[in-house]
Structure 1
């Protein structure tokens, strides 16, 4: 398979590049914004036509939630128009588009794991943009796979968010600052390496449509933080708070766990966390 990977220097893209390079049946072509800005159709079209991929993976996104609320035009342009550009350019060369989406396309009212067939209802601009992106990609390229993910953290960190949740918690603990983490938002934080490991076999099998790739189990961000500290034998002042008390400009679903009616879930979120900490910080004591 000849695969063009857009966003190869991002959090998810970096782990895909790291784990797929050298696979015997994969010819991976990593590309960044310097190679083609997804909002520039001509640039994307030229890159896709030149590389002639079998699949195009679009890991690019504008996903800083407060910025999305303040600048919905950019959120829609990067996510929706960018998705259309990539899907269309892929269709023109007969390639499959693999578009990543988010648990934030759901409103959290279900209170049990969301399946691929559940109706979508976003609470914020980012979620609304990703709903529109999904629909746009489906229209632009019938040969598509939409992959919904949740609570991502990876070795490269997220440039748009200044790192990732795990590293933020470890930094605050080292600095000795009191830490307050929301205990009423339930999700399944997912190591991007686990997504990269599970996705390639699905592409080999020709999976199409929509699929959820997320860690097994569920937890609050507060309990996730406590697990981080326990695994690194840290004892900071970490206390729970609520979404209402924490405040902020963004409405977030209080429950956004992803299940699947199509494939097994990824390893448990605690296993993914242990893998991340070993790879990033060395053996667990």
Structure 2
């Protein structure tokens, strides 16, 4: 199986990164943190105009006509940028819910026992009767718990893994940047063996998860998706924790980006049964 991206896929990834940097840069991120629970409808429509939600719709239906591998690349960039909102649910609803493809309609969905952005959604897929608001670890992701778990969709699991991969890649970048710039005892802290090992582990976990996520986007096999999800969760959560350790005390400050990645990775890791469903699927496949 080839993992080298095509010229068109690299251009897509670069284009999405540019759009997100322009529409959801550092200032917009801070504004979102300071206004928890409020979804920027202008940003949502801009995502729709850029084809974020209609990416896999056929061109005959007004979509972009691309596939799951391209969707994974786009959601990886969304995870890297900490883009807030029910991205996966709205993407999956494009073509089925009017306005979802263009970003005019915000769609939330029950994922396992949780539903994100329930109060901000125009349409909710799944039974949310009796939903109870929870205090979210992530200030950018309001969540509710529902008494009746929703059906897990393999594509949703994979796109969540792609978002986790984006976080894993970003925290690796942040750790390396800080290790090169921060000095102690007259030299960059990246010169110390302990910090080198942390950064090396960050890279290994991120690239291992990347191979698994990209492969699952090609095969679309439920077992491959489950394995990718588990590897991506580990890469994101452990990666963000190690990045926080490289940053030291400043990583915990409200102005830093690192702790936001850790909190988002924790919340994402709770989707779809918190990884337990993926573990059970893999166990059943191995037993068979």
Q: TM-score range by the shorter chain?
A: 0.3 to 0.5
Higher relative contact order (CA 8 A, sep 6+): 1
TM-score for the superposition, normalised by structure 2: 0.38
TM-score for the superposition, normalised by structure 1: 0.38
More helix by share: 2
